[in-house]
Amino acid sequence: MRSTLLRAGFKAAIAWSVLATPAMAQTVVPEGSEIRFVSKQMGVPVEGRFTRWQAQVRFDPKQLQAAQMGFTIDTRSISFGAADTETEAAKPEWFHSTQHPQASFRSTAVKSLGGGRYEVAGALTVKGRTRELQVPVQLAAGPAAGQGTASGNFTVKRLDFGLGEGEWSDISVVANEVQVRFKLQLTGLAPS
């Protein structure tokens, strides 16, 4: 009887350790990755990107409950290809980069939609304000085993994060919707 209980306890401990093991971590290859965005000013698309950021990805399609995805973006690295626009974006009315040098996204759940498509729920924090998002992600296999690309796009409302306060809050001048696009080149992916 006692040995049966010990065996049952041992099996339960092994099962728990398997369930508690976090999904394998992937490495993000910066040279093949990017975070870009498009806003509209007076109806004209304005493209930009962030040049300094980090992404953390722990993903195994067979253990979605343990998946973790996150970004940390240096708001001071915003790039439009125009120095005066970049200086304006760092001001308190926009990113207030001296007080809020980082923006971040942290996943809370990942759901498979089939065909390499996933929905990542999480929290986006910009300028000290946090909003919940649902981000569609497409995972595509790369040329070699364990390689691939995760990409997606989503829309945020800039005024939800206090981006463009004061005179810049007029959405007829700068649209409220900002399209964010990302592409992450990954290594260390588990076979699906």
**What is the pLDDT, as a whole number, of residue 70?**
93
Cα dist from 128 to 95, 123, 144, whole Å: 10, 12, 40
Residue 119: φ, ψ to 5°:
-115, 120
Helix (H, G, I), strand (E, B) or coil at 173: coil
Q: Residue 69: what pLDDT?
A: 94
Give the contacts of 138 (CB within 8 A, at least 6 positions apart): 116, 117, 118, 150, 151, 152
pLDDT in tens, the chain (192 residues): 444 433 434 333 333 333 333 456 899 999 999 999 999 999 999 999 999 999 999 988 889 999 999 999 999 999 999 999 999 999 999 999 999 999 999 999 999 999 999 999 999 999 999 999 999 999 998 888 889 999 999 999 999 999 999 999 999 999 999 999 999 999 998 776
Rounded to two decimals, what is the model's pTM?
0.83
User: Parallel, antiparallel, or unpaired for β 44-50 and 78-79?
Assistant: antiparallel
Structure tokens at 165: 């306060």
* CA distances for 152 relative to 18, 22, 33, 64, 134, angstroms: 30, 24, 12, 18, 11
Sequence-separated (6 or more) residues with CB below 8 Å from residue 143: none
Helix (H), strand (E), coil (C) string for 83-138 = HHHHHHHCCCCCCCCCCCCEEEEEEEEEEEEECCEEEEEEEEEECCEEEEEEEEEE
The per-residue pLDDT for 192 is 63
Please provide the CATH number assigned to the domain covering 23-187.
Answer: 2.40.128.110
pLDDT reported for residue 118: 96
Q: Record the tokens describing residue 56, joined without a space.
A: 């953390």
The structure tokens listed for 70 are 């996150």
